[in-house]
Amino acid sequence: MKAHEPGVPPLAFVQLLNSDALEPDAVAHFRRIIDLHDTSELELVRHDRQVPIRWFREVYPDLDPEGATHLGLAFAESAQLTSFGPLSLPLVSAGSVAEVFELLGYLPVISGALRPHFHQGQRSLTVGLSGHTDDPDLDCLVITYGGAALLRLLDMLAGTLPGVTLHLAWKAPQFPEGHIDLLTGRLAFDAHASFIDVPAETLQARCRFPDPLAYRLAIAELSRTLERNTSATSVTESVRRLLEEDPGRSSSQEVAALLGVSTSTMKRRLDDEGTTFREVRQSLLRERAIVRLLDHSLTISQTAVDLGYSDLANFSHAFRRWTGQSPSEFRKVGRRGPG
């Protein structure tokens, strides 16, 4: 298994293998892959290494968005409060829905395949979801699984929250006639971005097993782990973290100095990882722009200013380059309700 490649939490993967969500042939194929890597299900969990997401492409070579959606929804049904390693204790001990969503900021500790982006608006919290698997179909899988699993966990912790909805940025798959699941009424397709929408009042909903001390201690440990992992992982992740901490950092020289390397060294290391400083920054700006444009209480001009654009035309040009649409075109159909 390659270092730093995107993957899924090992316990969640092993629980999935031992659930009814996978067909026997798929389980057998996964176990052959595990054997080929000279490891075992127990060892995967013991070493707490992410299970490479590319294994799912090996098992499902013909995967497409429709199949990925069905798999993601089925896999989410096997998600348990214990499935997510160091996030499990604070998840169980969270006192409110807001504290559950705070934990998403520590998702890189357990998975590099899915990334959240937050925007707190006047009426709701928007959590953008983007896949980072380098495979658009696997991106659909991890986004569907991550979003659906989170809604399932919220049901366990706080009861059904009908106002919390998952929006997916592709067309709805064909469901069997009469199909009903726990997300009925809380799942929307054909959005222009994938995101979870949480009404502001729902954030204050209480969870069933609050333990403030355990939660605070776990958060402190997660913060240390995230800092340690970031410094030990790819330079791309380190650059991204610094830009996330302060979006005003637009200079590669400033970021390189914060990393303690020369600009040329940072450039070379980013190139070794197949990217550039500009690409990392533009990707982050795109994600931040999308979640802000989903908030209709913000003007497009304010969004441009928030992202560091002094000229609205420059922001509009950049957004069209990223998405193929102007900000106003995106906003018209960017947020659709569940069907």
Distances (CA, A) of 32 to 6, 28, 58: 20, 6, 11
- Are both 81 and 182 inside the same structural domain? yes
| pLDDT tens figures, 56-107 | 999 999 999 999 999 999 999 989 999 999 999 999 999 999 999 999 999 9
Residues 18, 161: Cα–Cα separation, whole Å: 29
Distances (CA, A) of 274 to 94, 257, 266, 270, 326: 38, 21, 12, 6, 28
| pLDDT tens figures, 221-233 | 999 988 887 665 6
234 pLDDT more than 80: no
What residues contact 299, with CB distance under 8 A and at least 6 apart? Answer: none
338 pLDDT more than 60: no
In the prediction, which pLDDT does 119 show? 92
Most confident of 143-147, 226-230, 302-306, 323-327: 143-147
Helix (H/G/I), strand (E/B), else coil: 129 = strand
Domain housing 245: 235-333
DSSP-assigned beta bridge partners for residue 130? 115
In the prediction, which pLDDT does 235 show? 85
216 pLDDT more than 70: yes
| pLDDT tens figures, 172-207 | 988 766 555 667 789 999 998 999 999 999 999 999
Average pLDDT, the chain: 90
- Are both 247 and 176 inside the same structural domain? no
Q: Is residue 301 part of a domain?
A: yes
- Are both 134 and 262 inside the same structural domain? no
One-letter identity of residue 321: R
Across the range 14-32, mean pLDDT stands at 95
Q: How many domains does the chain have?
A: 2
pLDDT band at residue 335 using 50, 70 and 90 as cut-offs: low
Helix (H/G/I), strand (E/B), else coil: 96 = strand
Q: Is residue 49 part of a domain?
A: no
Residues 326, 268: Cα–Cα separation, whole Å: 34
Prediction pTM value = 0.86
Q: Is residue 138 part of a domain?
A: yes
In the prediction, which pLDDT does 339 show? 47
Q: Which two tokens stand for residue 326?
A: 């102007």
